[in-house]
Structure 1
Amino acid sequence: MQSKNQVLEVYLFINPFEQASYQDEKNVLAFAENQTKKNKIHFMPFLNFNTLSQYMSAHHIPEKDLDKRNALYSQMYDACLAYAAATMQGKKKARNFLLALQKGLFEEQKIYSQDLVVEKAREAKLDVPMFLEDKASDYARTVFLADQKVATEMHISSTTSCVIYNEALFDFGVLIEESVTAELLTRLCADKAMITEHLASKEKPALRVLN
């Protein structure tokens, strides 16, 4: 996962429909902006039966309501494809699109729709005709499936989860399964003793090593 030239790499596994993911994305970007070392940020939508069930449970949506489950999965999957399509025009534009889409959902209280997707694609200054063509392509689905494979390889089981690699301090990945704050990332990337202490603490199970 890690390049020799890459000092710090962050993988954030998100659900586009989760407000916690929206906040964690902003926290990760705030952290990255304040770093003097090179860093590489990956936002990776993660969607499967378990993450959908977790979302439905957290939002008190009856899990046995198949119509609601299927409709919700369809919308989330569509949002994942939209993000995959946006990445074809650059990761920065894709992140801007994702944040704009989530702002529309959480702050502007808009309903997810294709009109909203197009509106936010324009806000992110995407080439909209190209974006829509890419969103409907097999390649967008391939990108989505590749993200799911990475999540499986990193033992991700829920969103939001974050994996960091910092070759300057440790030769393993650290998986964070709690709120991802800029402060926490800064501490983890600056203090090896803090990582060792955190990993050894039975009271802090939300941090673990990926070999």
Structure 2
Amino acid sequence: MSAKKWTDASWYSQEQRPLEIYLFIDPLSSDCWALEPKIKKLLLEYEPYLRIKHILSSSLDTLNCQTEKQRKELAKSWNETALKSGMPCDGSQWMKNPVESPFLASVAVKAAEMQGKKAGSRFLRSIQEQLFVEQKNISDFDVLLTCAEKSRLDIDEFTHDIHSATASKAFQCDVKIASEMDVHSTPTLVFFNENIEDEGIKVDGLYPYEIYSQIVEQMLEEKPPKKELPAIEEFLMRFKIAATVEVAEVYDISMKEAEKRLKKLMFNKKIEKIEAGNGTFWRYIF
């Protein structure tokens, strides 16, 4: 691809983008939640050149979390992730208001995707927010309906699809893809370029943003110009809600500086502050 083409990527359609990332994710995984700032930054800087395909790959830890011992282990994992990444999540939820049916939450995502990939992505983020920010039980059907409404889904269609064999089979298909691609943990990212003869690059676990950025540029073979980051207000306008640590990581600033800028927006009544377990979120005011 010529350098001239990199100067204007507006001609790419969603289907024509030269790089695709398979993102294997578990909606209940705190590590997948901690990956969010890096995914946001990839989208902001390289969006003209890549698309992200979410593939659900729920771990046994979250699918089988019925005993008190299993819930304590999951709670410990959440708290460790919060400590390492700074991304707010409170493990005590697994003792107070646990997700009773992780399988249903995953099937719900596939039901949302039946209304389009963007609808599915909005719904996935919404259930993560309900889980990690609001500390809700995302296997509760009323909570899932709230997520569907916030994601602007057709509610009647969603209600039908979540109980359909099609959504369940779609989730099983995702699990099969994970098995065939030898994916055993979440999050895992597999990078593919437009040359079908090239093997993908698989990265499992959490790494600094620079690692993912380097892989994107390596797979594209030529270094494309990064898009300029939007103002923080525009960032919140796009993603609706974000933790302080997300803003700090995306804009490469300190937590103190991020909070200062966010408070300024709050005082101007652009956003509102949400205190949550182990951290703070900020919501754009529509």
Q: TM-score normalized by structure 1? A: 0.73
Matching residue within 31, 45, 62 for 1:20: 31
Higher relative contact order (CA 8 A, sep 6+): 1
Q: Aligned-pair RMSD on alpha carbons?
A: 2.9
Q: Is the 8 A contact 2:23 2:187 kept in 1?
A: yes
Q: Is 1:128 the equivalent of 2:155?
A: yes
Question: d(CA) in 1 for partners of 2:145 and 2:31?
Answer: 23
Stretches of structure 1 that go unaligned for 5 or more consecutive residues are 62-67, 193-211
Query: 2:50 maps to which residue?
Result: 39
Asked if 2 retains the 8 angstrom alpha-carbon contact of 1:52 and 1:73, the reply is: no
Partner residue, 1:118: 145
Contact preservation (8 Å) 1:24, 1:181: no
- 2:118 is equivalent to residue 92 of structure 1: yes
Q: Aligned residues: percent identity?
A: 28
TM-fit CA distance, 1:19:
2.4
Task: In structure 2, give the amino acid aligned to 1:90.
Answer: G
Which residue, 140, 149, 153 being the options, matches 2:176? 149
| Closer/same/farther in 2, CA of residues 119 and 152 from structure 1, 3 Å limit | same
Match of 1:76 among 80, 97, 102: 102
Displacement after TM superposition at 1:173 (Å): 1.0
* Alignment partners' CA distance in 2, 1:151 and 1:5: 24
Note closer, same or farther for the CA distance 1:182–1:92 as it changes in structure 2 (3 Å cut): farther
Deviation at 1:92, TM superposition (A): 0.9
Contact 1:161-1:176 at 8 Å conserved across structures: yes
Q: Does the CA-based 8 Å contact 2:27-2:58 persist in structure 1?
A: no
In the TM superposition, what is the alpha-carbon distance from 1:189 to its structure 2 partner? 1.5
Residue-by-residue CA offset, 1:53-97 (whole Å, 9 max, x unaligned): 698644359xxxxxx9xxx78611101110000001111111111
Instruction: Decide whether the 8 Å contact of 1:6 with 1:39 is kept in 2.
Output: yes
**Bigger CA radius of gyration:** 2
TM-score (norm 2): 0.55
Task: Look up the match of 2:165.
Answer: 138
Pair 1:75–1:59, CA change in 2 (3 A):
same
Is 40-49 or 92-101 further displaced after alignment?
40-49
